[in-house]
Amino acid sequence: MSPELASAPHIPVLLEEVVAALQPRPGMTIIDATFGAGGYTTALLEAGASVHAFDRDPDAIAAGQALVARHDGRLALHAARFSAMRHELAAIGVTAVDAVVMDIGVSSMQLDQGERGFAFMHDGPLDMRMSQDGESAADFLNTADEEAIANVLYLYGEERQSRRVARAIVAARPLSTTGELARVVRRALGHKPHDKKDPATRTFQAVRIHVNDELGELEAGLAAAEALLVPGGVLAVVSFHSLEDRIVKQFLRTASAAGRAVSRHLPGEIPGPPPTFAQVSKAIRPSEAEIARNSRARSSTLRHAIRTHAAPRSLAA
């Protein structure tokens, strides 16, 4: 690991596996769709590749300027959602890239900054906005009706007692801090100090995903990557919970199965477009050694695949 990575506030997970999948080298142009603290980007630059890195968090973009200055024009930072990467790159004349890597979800930096309101380990304002604009977690929880809150908790947090938690949140309004929300959820669900997992975890995950439209962003980002990758290009996606991984797995399954032979029992059925991805990997999990070095890696999953020569499905329709 380079000195730059060793001193970074965020340790990129599955870094060796991502680099092995992408095989960065001089002359390659790679998108790091989730720049964060620049862990993947640094490794790609050290291998000689040029990188277009995206992040909607202005703090990440500001912190990354030093890395831009150290790498002789091979790094461009884009203050934008990765769902917009195709549009952003087209504006500067870039229409194709050799690889795309995506590290989905909230970064360690965001979790560790209490004033950003992503976690209950540090009491802070109930914010959770990655881009630091738009509707905050407090805005949503203090104005949405009970049913809407319950639906978010059930869909994005897989909270089985979502209605009970939503009822407690509405009864406790207005809420303004992460500590207040955590206490409301714990009272609603019951919490003992020796419990393995804090019951507020699912609610915080759900509200964060909703406020940042994380799953919608992921779906749009995957489609943008499909459109930008050259034949033989690599897509690598690291996810951290089942909702994200399910979207990635289904995307690659559909993309690699498109246009397969129809059943002989269904004459007249029209085959779909040819597959846009091949050589889809199985789920790759971190080693015990990596988990020991970085506990955040425990829930991570990497999937990668190779772009075929087929036209992007969004353009083939």
Query: d(Cα 313, Cα 259) in Å, to the nearest integer?
Result: 11
Longest dimension (CA), the chain: 63
The β-bridge partners of 101 are: 32, 236
Q: Which residues fall within 8 angstroms of residue 11, CB to CB, at 6 or more apart?
A: 5, 39, 108, 293, 294, 296
Which segments within the chain are labelled E, that is strand?
A: 29-32, 50-54, 75-78, 97-103, 229-239, 277-278, 301-307
Last residue of a domain, one of 171, 186, 212: 212
Specify whether 163 is located in the same domain as 193. Answer: yes
pLDDT at residue 189 tops 80:
yes
Query: d(Cα 108, Cα 135) in Å, to the nearest integer?
Result: 22
Residues above pLDDT 90, as percent of the chain: 73
- The secondary structure of 46-112 as a DSSP string is HTT-EEEEE-S-HHHHHHTHHHHHHTTT-EEEE-S-GGGHHHHHHTTT---EEEEEEE-S--HHHHH
Specify whether 203 is located in the same domain as 149. Answer: yes
What CATH number corresponds to the domain at position 126? 1.10.150.170
Specify whether 71 is located in the same domain as 124. Answer: no
Query: d(Cα 217, Cα 84) in Å, to the nearest integer?
Result: 9
Specify whether 151 is located in the same domain as 199. Answer: yes
Query: d(Cα 311, Cα 315) in Å, to the nearest integer?
Result: 7
pLDDT of residue 11: 77
Specify whether 186 is located in the same domain as 54. Answer: no
pTM over 0.75: yes
Query: Total structural domains in the chain?
Result: 2
Specify whether 208 is located in the same domain as 221. Answer: no
The residue assigned the tokens 């009272």 is: 187
Last residue of a domain, one of 212, 233, 260: 212
What CATH number corresponds to the domain at position 46? 3.40.50.150
Half-sphere exposure of 204 (CA within 13 A, CB side): 28
pLDDT digit string (tens) for 21-75?
Answer: 999 999 999 999 999 889 999 999 999 999 999 999 888 899 999 999 999 899 9
Q: Report the candidate in 64, 42, 52, 44 with the shortest Cα–Cα distance to residue 96.
A: 52
Last residue of a domain, one of 155, 188, 212: 212
Residue 257 lies in domain: 3-107+215-316
Write the burial class of residue 31 (CB in 10 Å: 0-12 exposed, 13-18 middle, 19+ buried).
buried
Residue type, 210: H
pLDDT digit string (tens) for 160-173?
Answer: 999 999 999 999 99
Q: Pick 46 or 314 by higher pLDDT.
A: 46
pLDDT at residue 109 tops 60:
no
Average pLDDT rounded to a whole number, residues 107-133: 67
